[in-house]
């Protein structure tokens, strides 16, 4: 379920990377894998730089104050990190709510602001930086919920779907400057965002390893784990059956990885 770009993407070794939401979860795993792979410099974007763990600072990670929904904050980050060659758009927000039958309709808008518009803000601000440094690469950490409609992810699923389309459009627009764009379709991962989900979950480090390998190969859209490609396959084979199953899950109130 992946195809390759004609561009030569940067290697992890000696790259300069910025990871949004890099202070925990999948973002932290990307920071750790970048360091392990020999990145020359890693910036960790966080709304509060005090949340960047001490071990990261000790390893040379550079904390960057960053709220991806705030254009001024994003612009300041781009100015502070002029040497970036790899942008990992990892920061996200899952409101854990329904879309229609909700008592908090504002959550869906918040999810769109972070997961779609925030990612768009970052790509717009850093596209010139990447171009000035030879093209580079963008990695968008998305979700299986953005590839297929998913129960209990009312606003999150449409927002991640929008970010998936954004990845394709950005790839086409940035082709001429030599910037590759890799979209990661991620299943359930053992992070705080998925602590309410039952069943087995993926190790964040495995997701980061898969994502960086995909970037180095110049791949476009990649299922990072078993849950992602199995869920996408079930939906593609029989959408009606999948949707009936989704309604059943919604009635039960239990969210599980199915494993």
Give the integer Cα–Cα distance in Å for 33 and 1: 24
Q: Any catalytic annotation for residue 235?
A: no
Give the integer Cα–Cα distance in Å for 22 and 167: 20
Please pick, among 43, 116, 156, 235, the residue that the annotation labels catalytic.
156
Q: Which residues pair with 141 in a beta bridge?
A: 184
State CA 239 to chain mean position distance.
Answer: 25
User: CB within 8 A of 153, min separation 6: which ones?
Assistant: 94, 143, 145
Q: Does residue 1 sit in helix, strand or coil?
A: coil
In order, the DSSP letters of 128-191 are HHHHHTTS-EEEEE--HHHHS--TT-TTHHHHHHHHHHHHHHHHHHTTTTT-EEEEEE---BSS
Residues noted as catalytic = 156
């Amino acid at each position: 379920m992946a195809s390759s770009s004609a561009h030569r993407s940067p290697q992890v070794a000696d790259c300069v990377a910025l990871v949004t939401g890099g202070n925990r979860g999948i973002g932290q795993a990307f920071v750790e894998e970048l360091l392990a792979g020999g990145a020359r410099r890693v910036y960790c974007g966080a709304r509060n730089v005090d949340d960047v763990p001490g071990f990261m600072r000790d390893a040379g990670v550079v904390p960057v104050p960053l709220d991806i929904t705030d254009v001024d904050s994003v612009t300041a980050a781009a100015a502070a990190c002029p040497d970036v060659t790899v942008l990992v758009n990892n920061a996200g927000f899952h409101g854990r709510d329904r879309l229609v039958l909700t008592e908090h309709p504002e959550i869906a808008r918040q999810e769109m602001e972070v997961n779609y518009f925030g990612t768009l803000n970052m790509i717009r601000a850093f596209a010139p930086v990447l171009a000035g440094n030879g093209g580079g690469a963008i990695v968008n950490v998305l979700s299986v919920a953005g590839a297929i409609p998913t129960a209990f992810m009312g606003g999150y699923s449409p927002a991640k779907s929008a970010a998936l389309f954004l990845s394709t459009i950005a790839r086409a627009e940035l082709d001429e400057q030599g910037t590759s764009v890799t979209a990661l379709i991620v299943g359930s991962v053992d992070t705080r965002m998925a602590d309410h989900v039952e069943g087995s979950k993926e190790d964040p480090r495995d997701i980061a390893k898969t994502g960086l390998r995909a970037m180095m190969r110049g791949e476009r859209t990649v299922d990072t784990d078993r849950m992602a490609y199995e869920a996408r396959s079930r939906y593609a084979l029989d959408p009606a059956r999948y949707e009936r199953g989704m309604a059943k899950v919604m009635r039960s109130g239990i969210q599980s990885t199915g494993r």
